[in-house]
């Protein structure tokens, strides 16, 4: 189950990267920074739920704890990638990386993390796996 969950997280990473490119190339030039980031965040959250819905049966959590474990694992992998790769590979400053967490400035990125956390539990529950 855990290897499958990591495989799906890798797909999520690709989707998130495409979403980020779409945000930078299409959304922000057309809608501005704040609105573009909000649309991108909502779009990515929806894509996370859709992918989770389509793959949760294959991932195969059989208990509520296992479903939560998948969600927590995905969030930890996401944070590790965002901060470690973001800083060391893509050379973003720490303050720039933390800016996405400032909801008072219209940054709703934490919604993606919340969606990533709860999607496995909700999808497995609704699909009757738990």
pLDDT tens for each residue of 27-58: 999 999 999 999 999 999 999 999 999 999 99
Residue 104 in this model has a pLDDT that exceeds 90:
no
- Domain-wise residue ranges, the chain: 2-126
Residue 106 in this model has a pLDDT that exceeds 90:
no
| Residue tagged 């819905």 (tokens) | 53
Which range, of 1-10, 54-63, 83-92, averages the lowest pLDDT? 83-92
Mean pLDDT for 77-101 is 91
Q: Could you tell me what percent of the chain has a pLDDT over 90?
A: 85
CB 56 within 8 A of CB 118: no
Mean pLDDT for 88-103 is 89
pLDDT the model gives residue 105: 84
User: How many Å apart are CA 83 and CA 19, to the nearest integer?
Assistant: 18
Q: What is the pTM of this model?
A: 0.93
Burial of 92 (0-12, 13-18, 19+ CB in 10 A): middle
Number of CB atoms found within 10 A of residue 111's CB: 15
Mean pLDDT for 11-37 is 97
CB 41 within 8 A of CB 109: yes
């Amino acid at each position: 189950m855990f290897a499958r969950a990591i495989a799906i997280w890798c797909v999520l990473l690709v989707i998130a990267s495409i979403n980020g490119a779409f945000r930078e190339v299409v959304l922000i030039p057309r809608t501005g920074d704040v609105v573009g980031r909000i649309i991108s965040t909502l779009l990515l959250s929806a894509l996370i739920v859709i992918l989770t819905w389509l793959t949760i049966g294959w991932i195969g959590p059989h208990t509520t704890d296992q479903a939560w474990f998948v969600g927590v694992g995905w969030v930890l992998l996401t944070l590790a990638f965002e901060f470690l790769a973001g800083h060391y590979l893509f050379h973003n400053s720490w303050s720039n990386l933390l800016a996405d967490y400032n909801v008072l400035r219209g940054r709703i990125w934490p919604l993606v993390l919340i969606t990533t956390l709860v999607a496995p539990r909700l999808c497995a529950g609704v699909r009757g796996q738990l």
